[in-house]
Amino acid sequence: MGGSKRSLSATGGRCRLSGEPELAAKLAHCLSVDPDAKLPFTHGFHAYPARMHPETARRVIEAFPGGRVVDPFVGSGTTAVEAVRAGRPFTGFDISKVPLEIAWTRTRVGLPEQSRKVEGAAHRLSGRAFQEIENEFTMLPWTRKEYEWYDPHTLREIYVLKLLIDLEEPTLRRMLTVVLSSVLVKLSRQISDSDVKMDVHHRPRPRGAAFRWFADKSSDLTRGLLLLSSDLYKRKVQFLEPDLRREDARDAKLPPDGVDLVVTSPPYSGVYDYSRHQARRYPIFDEDPKFAEAHELGSRRDASLYRQDMETVLKNLLASLTPQGRIVMLIGDGQQLKADAFITETAAKLGAKVLAMASQSRKDWSGGPPKQEHLIAVGR
């Protein structure tokens, strides 16, 4: 797996600035993060490909004060967590239940005993699973479809955990499913979260690994939630429940009272097949992936409508902006597309404009020449 991309490793570097000097400098500050810094709160709990660095999200929200924050491509909830920390109302959309459940779990602010419930339940279920694993089970159809992706004993362990999780009360069931989700790719023969291919160098996981890793990740989540809750309490920030919905960004119903800030990282044209990143996870969330695959924007397998689709997304977002509202997006160059020029042209076509931009060079992990990633502020 040498040379594979680490999540959030592609950050940092010198910025090229354009547009309003003061605003461009703010954007450069938002981009200039330390890729090796430890991720705080719940940001490091669940691996997720192509996500925005949490420090970038935090700095953008801080640089553009106001009311509601929207992320039409919410992913695992980086912007949602930072909006919660800032005490700002948040609305997020995604086309799959998987990221929405991850984002919901990562924003569970509550009393310490509430945060510790998930850890206690996971350790209890892990211990019980060690006892139940020898019993006879009728494996459900989804396990047969996933058989090639796991060592047989590992798939059986995952199945036992799923059975036990489904017996818990609804809130714990949702959170524990996300905990199980966080270890699936590591347990599988899949190369990584961003590379959905069989790993020819896969080594069988030790027996009981699913149970141990599940318990360990529950402790990681609990630590992150305790830190998040303590952070809000110490700073006297009121927790506002994020509004998370499965909708397509092209026609998502935006808040009628207007949006002060959009913070998002949309799909990059032709870079990933984003919906397929969740292939191992769809079964445990009881999700049919057809909706996500049908509504995916800019996928590697078909990016032919990317320009048209992104124009529709921008039009939808611009219509909801308050007079002082801004769209701040992190977007990278894609297949035969310079993202900075594209967004500039599209904004002008829609009666808006790019106010400022900061760009950094990024390694092309497929071996091609470096590409540019841009943090762009758009206003009307």
Residue 152 confidence (pLDDT): 95
Token digits of residue 73: 């491509």
Of residues 291 and 366, more confidence is placed in 291
* Rounded mean pLDDT, 325-341: 93
* Least confident stretch, 79-93, 260-274, 348-362: 260-274
Per DSSP, what are the bridge partners of residue 69? Answer: 90, 261
> How far apart are alpha carbons 94 and 98 in whole angstroms?
9
In the block, residue with structure tokens 């047989």? 152
Express each pLDDT in 33-44 by its tens digit: 988 889 999 999
Residue 51 confidence (pLDDT): 81
* Least confident stretch, 142-156, 190-204, 241-255, 292-306: 292-306
> How far apart are alpha carbons 239 and 137 in whole angstroms?
43
Instruction: With beta carbons less than 8 A apart as the criterion, state whether 266 and 73 touch.
Output: yes
Q: 87 pLDDT exceeds 70?
A: yes
Of residues 49 and 167, more confidence is placed in 167
Task: Outline where 133-208 has alpha helix (H).
Answer: 141-146, 152-165, 170-187
Q: What's the pTM value of the predicted model, to 2 decimals?
A: 0.93
Q: 60 pLDDT exceeds 70?
A: yes
Residue 30 confidence (pLDDT): 96
* Rounded mean pLDDT, 169-183: 98
Q: Which of 55, 16, 79, 118 is nearest to 244 (CA)?
A: 79
Sign of the CA dihedral 290, 295, 300, 302?
positive
* Least confident stretch, 62-71, 121-130, 134-143: 134-143
Q: 9 pLDDT exceeds 50?
A: no
In the block, residue with structure tokens 């959030």? 8
Q: 6 pLDDT exceeds 50?
A: no
**245: Cα separation from own chain's centroid:** 14
Q: 275 pLDDT exceeds 80?
A: yes
140 pLDDT tier (thresholds 50, 70, 90): confident
Instruction: With beta carbons less than 8 A apart as the criterion, state whether 79 and 68 touch.
Output: no
* Rounded mean pLDDT, 153-176: 97
Residue 336 confidence (pLDDT): 80
Sign of the CA dihedral 64, 27, 60, 234?
negative
Give the domains, in start order, of the chain with CATH numbers: 16-97+242-379 (3.40.50.150), 112-229 (no CATH)
Residue 2 confidence (pLDDT): 38
Token digits of residue 60: 């953008």
* Rounded mean pLDDT, 358-373: 77
Kind and range of the H or E run holding 122: helix 112-132
Q: 8 pLDDT exceeds 80?
A: no
